[in-house]
Chains A and B, each alone.
Chain A
Amino acid sequence: MKDVFTGKLVRLSAVDPEEMSKAFTRWNRDSEYTRLLMMSAQPLSSAKAIQKWMEKEIEGVSPTNFFFTIRALDENKLLGGLGLNVISWAARESFIAIFIGEREYWGKGCGTDAMNIVLRYAFTELNLQRVSLGVFEYNPRAIRSYEKVGFQHEGRMRKYLNHEGKRWDLLYMGILREEWLQVQNGDKT
């Protein structure tokens, strides 16, 4: 059996609110990063406020939310994080949000690797039927990454966002359990 939490470049680890809140304040100062990640204008919050929020939201044991940090395998550096939210256990449908805050690690396959790990977790550990996500039209790097792990384009909310005088679409993507199993191509899961 594989180690469920380890990939080729990164591994998933538990969220330490103190460490993560410090990283968040640093990453949030990168406005390009926040625009790629969030719809709303990002207020700059203190590490203390973020830590408090995380302790409440992330540390409380919930059977519907699964949070992880993403760390580089080679130097154990904290690169980003992800949250998997089970929308409905009856439908076995979930929604994922993923981010790499350290911009030197953009475009190097770390996000793709982390997504592969969490899909394996979603399909083989939680036994879910689908994983959905939303991504902004102006984030082609993310779209390409999601396509690589097997997400299909499912919908588009036209002119959903307003940035720098232009309106942009919000794209919806999804992957089904059968599709993911096919992508594994006989890989032992």
Chain B
Amino acid sequence: MRDLFRGKLVRITAEEPETYAKSEIHWQRDSEFVRLADSDPIQLSSAKKIKEWAEKRFEKGLKPDRYSFTVRTLDEDKLIGFFGLRIDLMHNEALVGIGIGERDFWGKGYGTDMMKLCLQYVFSELCVERVSLGLHEYNARALRSYEKCGFRLEGRTRKDILREGKRYDSLWMGILREEWLQMQNGDPI
């Protein structure tokens, strides 16, 4: 059987809210990271606030429609990022959000490895039929990574993001269960 929590470069972890807050407070100061990850106005939160958020998200009330994970590198055991899932239980569909806060780990395959783990978890453990995600047009690195994982570009909301006086599109991608299964080359899941 596969190890659901271990990829080639990273592993999925659970973190103490305090540990997570320490990393997040450092990540949020990188405005480029926040702009790639989110379309909300950039804000700075106190470590206390982040810790409280993490306590709520990680510790209280595990819900069948919400999953939050953190990710560490295999070689140095460094906390580099996170991913979260929201499941539409009735339609058996998942929306994923993913990010690497540590910019030294951008463009080196860590995100792709994370997303592969994420897809493995959603399709083989949660048994969903499809996974969706959204990204900004100006995040070419992410687009390429998602394509490598098997996501297909499904649509775009034109010019809905305004950054530095320019308007950009939001892109929507998706992968179906059959498509993911085909990529597994018949390996047991």
Chain A residues within CB distance 8 Å of chain B: 63-64, 86, 89-92, 125-127
Contact = CB atoms under 8 A, between A and B. Distances in A.
Majority secondary structure of chain A interface residues (helix, strand, loop or mixed): loop
A176 B92 CA distance: 18
A55 to B, nearest CB: 18
A128 to B, nearest CB: 9
A89 B91 CA distance: 11
A91 B127 contact: yes
B63 A63 contact: yes
B126 A63 contact: no
A125 B127 contact: no
Given A90-B125, A90-B126, A63 B91 contact: no
Contact of A64 (B64, B91, B125, B126): B64
Nearest to B63: A63
B1 interface: no
Of the four ranges (under 10, 10 to 19, 20 to 34, 35 or more), the interface on chain B belongs to 10 to 19
From A89, A126, A127, name the one whose CB has the most chain B CB atoms within 10 angstroms: A89
Nearest to A126: B90
16 contacts: A63-B63, A63-B89, A64-B64, A86-B64, A86-B89, A89-B64, A89-B65, A89-B89, A89-B92, A89-B126, A90-B125, A90-B126, A90-B127, A91-B127, A92-B127, A127-B91
A123 to B, nearest CB: 12
B12 interface: no
A152 B57 CA distance: 41
A127 B65 CA distance: 15
B127 A127 contact: no
B65 A63 contact: yes
Nearest to B127: A90
B87 interface: yes
